[in-house]
Amino acid sequence: MNLEDVKVGAKVMIRDLKGKEEVIRRVEAMGLRRGRSVEVLQKLGRTILLKLNNSRIVISKDIARNIYVE
Amino acid sequence: MKSEEKNIKVALVGNPNVGKTSLLNHLAGTTLRVGNWPGVTVEKKEGKTFYNGYTIYFIDLPGIYTLEPLSEDEYIAYRFLTEEPPDMILNVIETPNMERDLFLTAELLELGIPMVLVLNMIDEAQKLGVDVDTERLEELLGLKVVKTNGRTGVGIKDILTAIVETYEKKITPKEIRYSEDLERLLTSLRESVKETKQQLIKKLLAHKEYLHEIERLYGKPAQQVIRENRFAFAHGLYNEVVKRKPITSTDITTLLDRFLLHPYIGTVVFFLIMFILFKVSFDFSKPFMDWLDGFLNDFVSPALGLALIELGMPDLVLRFFSEAVIGGVGFVLTFTPLIAVIYLLLSFLEFTGYLPRIAFLMDRVMHRLGLHGKSLIPLLLGFGCNVPAIVATRTMESKRDKLLVIAMIPFMSCPARLVVFSFFAITFFKNPALVIFSLYILGIVIALITAITLRKTILRGSLEHFVMELPPYRLPTLRLLFGVVWVYLKDFLYRAGTLIFAVSILIWLSMNLPPGVEKPEDSIAGKVGKALIPIFEPIGIKDWRVSTSLIPAFLAREIVLSSMATIYLAEGTKKKEEFSLSESAKEQLFGLLSATKEAFYSLINPLPRTFEVSEEYSNLRSVVSKSMDELSALSFMIFILIYTSCLGTISVMWREAGKKFALGFLIYSFLMAWLSAFIVYKVGSML
Ligand SMILES: Nc1nc2c(ncn2[C@@H]2O[C@H](COP(=O)(O)OP(=O)(O)OP(=O)(O)O)[C@@H](O)[C@H]2O)c(=O)[nH]1
Ligand SMILES: [Mg+2]
Is pLDDT above 60 for B529?
yes
Q: How far is the CA of B603 from the centre of ligand 2 (A)?
A: 33
Q: Which residues of A touch B360 (CB under 8 A)?
A: 44, 47, 49, 58
Specify burial of residue B627 (Cβ count, 10 A radius: 0-12, 13-18, 19+).
middle
**Reported confidence tier of residue B116, pLDDT bands at 50, 70, 90:** very high
Q: Which residues of B touch A41 (CB under 8 A)?
A: 254, 257, 261
**Reported confidence tier of residue B609, pLDDT bands at 50, 70, 90:** low
Is pLDDT above 90 for B158?
yes
**Reported confidence tier of residue B572, pLDDT bands at 50, 70, 90:** low
Is pLDDT above 90 for B161?
yes
Instruction: For ligand 1, atom 6, name the residue with the nearest CA.
Output: B150
Question: Is the shortest distance between the CB of B127 and ligand 1 below 6 Å?
Answer: no
Instruction: For ligand 1, atom 32, name the residue with the nearest CA.
Output: B121
Is pLDDT above 60 for B578?
yes
B263 Cβ under 8 Å from any chain A Cβ: yes
* pLDDT value, residue A50: 94
Helices B265-294 and B336-352: angle between axes, nearest 10 degrees: 150
| Choice from B34, B123, B480 to test ligand 1 binding pocket (greatest atom count within 8 A of CB) | B34
Counted domains in chain A: 1
* pLDDT value, residue B122: 95
**Reported confidence tier of residue B607, pLDDT bands at 50, 70, 90:** low
DSSP secondary-structure letter at B415?
A: H
DSSP characters for B75-109? HHHHHHHHHS--SEEEEEEEGGGHHHHHHHHHHHH
Is pLDDT above 90 for B456?
no
Q: Which residues of B touch A63 (CB under 8 A)?
A: 465-467
Is pLDDT above 70 for B2?
no
Is pLDDT above 80 for B461?
no
Residues linked to residue B91 through DSSP beta bridges, in sequence order = B13, B117
| Cα B637 from chain centroid (whole Å) | 24
B398 Cβ under 8 Å from any chain A Cβ: no
Q: Which domain holds residue A8?
A: 3-69
Cβ atoms B335, B419 nearer than 8 A:
yes
How do beta strands B144-147 and B115-120 pair?
parallel
Is the Cβ pair A47, B373 closer than 8 Å?
yes
* pLDDT value, residue B620: 72
Distance CA B379, CA B450 (A): 14
B239 Cβ under 8 Å from any chain A Cβ: no
* pLDDT value, residue B573: 52
Task: From the CA of B60, give the closest atom in ligand 1.
Answer: 20
Is the Cβ pair B227, A59 closer than 8 Å?
no
Cβ atoms B115, B143 nearer than 8 A:
yes
Q: Which residues of A touch B99 (CB under 8 A)?
A: 31, 53
Give the pLDDT mean for B411-430. Answer: 89
* pLDDT value, residue B531: 86
The residues near B607 (Cβ < 8 Å, ≥ 6 apart) are none
* pLDDT value, residue B526: 83
Is pLDDT above 80 for B411?
yes
Give the pLDDT mean for B87-107. Answer: 95
Is the Cβ pair A44, B466 closer than 8 Å?
no
Is the Cβ pair A55, B257 closer than 8 Å?
no
Phi-psi region of B658 (alpha: psi -120 to 50; beta: other; left: phi over 0): left
Write down the number of H helices and E strands in chain B: 33, 9
Q: B493 vs B615, which has greater pLDDT? A: B493
The closest ligand to the CA of B101 turns out to be 1
Cβ atoms B59, B12 nearer than 8 A:
yes
Distance CA B351, CA B474 (A): 7
Q: Which residues of A touch B363 (CB under 8 A)?
A: 44-47
Q: Which of B74, B227, B467, B473 has the highest number of chain A CBs within 10 A, making it the mutation to test binding with A?
A: B467
Distance CA B106, CA B663 (A): 45
Dihedral of CA atoms B13, B17, B23, B24 in degrees, nearest 10, equals: 60
Give the pLDDT mean for B2-6. Answer: 63
The closest ligand to the CA of B118 turns out to be 1
DSSP secondary-structure letter at B55?
A: E
**Reported confidence tier of residue B463, pLDDT bands at 50, 70, 90:** low
Q: Which of B113-122, B491-500, B636-645 has the lowest mean pLDDT?
A: B491-500
Model ipTM value: 0.95
Of A28, A53, A59, the CB nearest to B466: A59
Compute the mean pLDDT over every residue in chain B, rounded to the nearest whole number: 88
* pLDDT value, residue B306: 84
Q: How far is the CA of B56 from the centre of ligand 1 (A)?
A: 21
* pLDDT value, residue B409: 96
Is pLDDT above 50 for A4?
yes
The residues near B38 (Cβ < 8 Å, ≥ 6 apart) are B15, B16, B17, B63, B356, B395, B468, B469, B471
Is pLDDT above 90 for B315?
no
Q: Which residues of A touch B70 (CB under 8 A)?
A: 22, 26
Cβ atoms B62, B39 nearer than 8 A:
yes
The structure's pTM equals 0.88
Cis peptide before B514 (omega within 30 of 0): yes
Phi-psi region of B29 (alpha: psi -120 to 50; beta: other; left: phi over 0): left
Q: Would you tell me which residues 93-152 of chain B have a C-beta closer than 8 angstroms to some C-beta of chain A?
A: 96-97, 99-100, 103-104, 128, 130
Q: B101 vs B510, which has greater pLDDT? A: B101
Q: Count the Cβ atoms, other than its own, within 10 Å of residue B472.
A: 21
Distance CA B286, CA B602 (A): 10
Kindly list the domain boundaries of chain B, sorted by start residue: 4-168, 180-244
Question: Is the shortest distance between the CB of B15 and ligand 1 below 6 Å?
Answer: no
Q: Which of B31-35, B333-337, B584-588 has the lowest mean pLDDT?
A: B584-588
Is pLDDT above 90 for B560?
no
> What are A56-66's pLDDT values in tens digits?
999 999 899 99
Q: How far is the CA of B90 from the centre of ligand 1 (A)?
A: 15
Task: From the CA of B36, give the closest atom in ligand 1.
Answer: 27
Q: How far is the CA of B48 from the centre of ligand 2 (A)?
A: 16
Is pLDDT above 90 for B564?
no
Q: CATH for B4-168, among 3.40.50.20, 3.40.50.300, 3.30.450.20, 1.10.533.10? A: 3.40.50.300
CATH number, domain of A25, equals 2.30.30.90
The closest ligand to the CA of B20 turns out to be 1
Nearest residue of A to residue B67, measured between CA atoms: A29
Nearest CA to CA, how far is A13 from chain B (Å)?
16
Cβ atoms B151, B128 nearer than 8 A:
no
Q: How far is the CA of B471 from the centre of ligand 1 (A)?
A: 10
* pLDDT value, residue B619: 67
Residues linked to residue B144 through DSSP beta bridges, in sequence order = B116
Distance CA B137, CA B514 (A): 77
* pLDDT value, residue A45: 84
Give the pLDDT mean for B288-293. Answer: 87
Q: Which of B412-421, B499-508, B633-642 has the lowest mean pLDDT?
A: B499-508
Question: Is the shortest distance between the CB of B472 and ligand 1 below 6 Å?
Answer: no
Give the pLDDT mean for B456-466. Answer: 77
**Reported confidence tier of residue B1, pLDDT bands at 50, 70, 90:** very low
Is pLDDT above 50 for B662?
yes
Is pLDDT above 90 for B109?
yes
Q: How far is the CA of B384 from the centre of ligand 1 (A)?
A: 20
User: Which of A53-62, B87-96, B626-635 shows the highest mean pLDDT?
Assistant: B87-96
Q: Which residues of A touch B68 (CB under 8 A)?
A: 22, 25
Of A27, A30, A47, the CB nearest to B360: A47
Nearest CA to CA, how far is A29 from chain B (Å)?
6
* pLDDT value, residue B327: 79
Is the Cβ pair B361, A44 closer than 8 Å?
yes
Give the pLDDT mean for B6-16. Answer: 95
Distance CA B380, CA B395 (A): 15
User: Which of B116-125, B503-512, B598-607 shows the highest mean pLDDT?
Assistant: B116-125
Nearest residue of A to residue B467, measured between CA atoms: A59
Cβ atoms B248, B128 nearer than 8 A:
no
Is pLDDT above 60 for B486?
yes
How do beta strands A47-52 and A37-44 pair?
antiparallel
Is pLDDT above 60 for B568?
yes
**Reported confidence tier of residue B558, pLDDT bands at 50, 70, 90:** confident
* pLDDT value, residue B142: 94
DSSP secondary-structure letter at B173?
A: P
Is pLDDT above 70 for B301?
yes
Distance CA B525, CA B529 (A): 6
Which three-class secondary structure state does DSSP give residue B24? helix
Is pLDDT above 70 for B610?
no
